[in-house]
Amino acid sequence: MLRSRIIPCLLVHKKGLVKTVNFKDPKYVGDPINAVKIFNEKEVDELMVLDIDATVENRGPNFEMIRNLAQECRMPFCYGGGVTTVEQAKRIIELGAEKVALSTSAVKNPLLLSEIGKAVGSQSVVVVIDVRKKGILSGGGYDVYIKNGKEKTGIKLKEFIQELNKIGVGEIVINSIDKDGTMSGYDLPLISTIRELTDFPMTVLGGAGNLEDIKFLISKFKIIGAAAGSLFVFKGKYKAVLINYPNREEKSRLFKEIQ
């Protein structure tokens, strides 16, 4: 049965854990394995790990890192970064990840999603869509980006979602470049746009600044994955690095207030 999830998203850059703002200026915040150990103790719903270097550097996934992360994780684990073949996806699942995420390769070759789905199960296939708002002079809406936000595709978001509907995937992750690292709240109009286009399980990333943002997101859109980066690695107005996550009581109260 599907339920709403609160998901820390870890970005890996040069083998370290980093946090970005608008996909730029990565700030080192620690070691990925240590972060996973802490999240284990905090009993997180699910963990997402994105290697933001892999596609930009034209290399495949770091299987050694994936193995180490999967061995340490005591929660469902989704990995993304550099996946371009069915064989890579199969190996990631075999190493212990529950889900494999694609972004650039999903845009360039959507049929790959179907091929991977046949090999590992469509429920394990996740598409991460990096989007940025268009300027007013461009007519509004959203542009789809690839290669960690470095390349605008020219593909219309609506058309891409419609193509995914035909192919079928397990989940989509909507990642707002404009909101990344700002802790200013999720892009609700963007989420509304996507929800009108598809009924796929959806996770939203970019902008969460506090638990109230998560509560509002879930209360408005019901079953949804509320993902965040900065919220779970920083603490306080000075953004001191501190791995954190709502405890059982806080989560129980949050979901009770939503009902």
What's 46's DSSP letter? -
Rounded Cα–Cα distance for residues 31 and 197 (Å): 38
pLDDT the model gives residue 129 = 98
Residue tagged 């999830």 (tokens): 5
H or E stretch covering 253: helix 248-258
The structure's pTM equals: 0.95
- Contact between 204 and 191 under an 8 Å Cβ cutoff? The reply is yes
pLDDT tens for the chain, 259 residues long, are 578 999 999 999 999 999 999 999 999 999 999 999 999 999 999 999 999 999 999 999 999 999 999 999 999 999 999 999 999 999 999 999 999 999 999 999 999 999 999 999 999 999 999 999 987 656 678 999 999 999 999 998 999 999 999 999 999 999 999 999 999 999 999 999 999 999 999 999 999 999 999 999 999 998 899 999 999 999 988 899 999 999 999 998 888 888 6
Quick one: which of 49, 52, 65 has its CA closest to 100? 49
Task: State the catalytic residue, choosing from 51, 130, 187, 213.
Answer: 130
According to DSSP, the β-strands at 47-51 and 24-30 are unpaired
Long-range contacts of 15-18 (CB under 8 A, 24+ apart): 15/62, 15/65, 17/233, 18/52
pLDDT the model gives residue 1 = 55
Is there a catalytic annotation at residue 130? Answer: yes
pLDDT the model gives residue 31 = 96
